[in-house]
Amino acid sequence: MRIVELEAQPNWVLSIVADDGRVGRFDMSPYLQYEAFEALRDQAEFVKVVNDGYFVESDCGADLSADTIEARWQVVGKAARQTTA
């Protein structure tokens, strides 16, 4: 899976759109117990996560692969396809 859109939501949830159009949510809260993700407990830091396509990265250096996200996310739908003229 490649992540094409990423948006940090309240309560440590990431809204994600995959390259195949699946839309889902990924709950980061279980990862906050680990030292590598400790800085993300601060919501202001969490919202700074960035999309690197195959990884979600944070300023503190912690990252999660798209494969990890895909294994544990909740798919909630499909993105509307854009047509080209």
The pLDDT tens digits for 21-60 are 999 999 999 999 999 999 999 999 999 999 999 999 998 8
Please check the confidence at residue 82 and state whether its pLDDT lies above 70: no
CATH code for 3-78?
3.30.2020
Average pLDDT, the chain: 92
Closest CA relative to residue 76, chosen from 29, 24, 32, 26:
24
Higher pLDDT, 28 or 84: 28
Specify the pTM.
0.88
Q: How far apart are CA 84 and CA 81, in angstroms?
A: 10
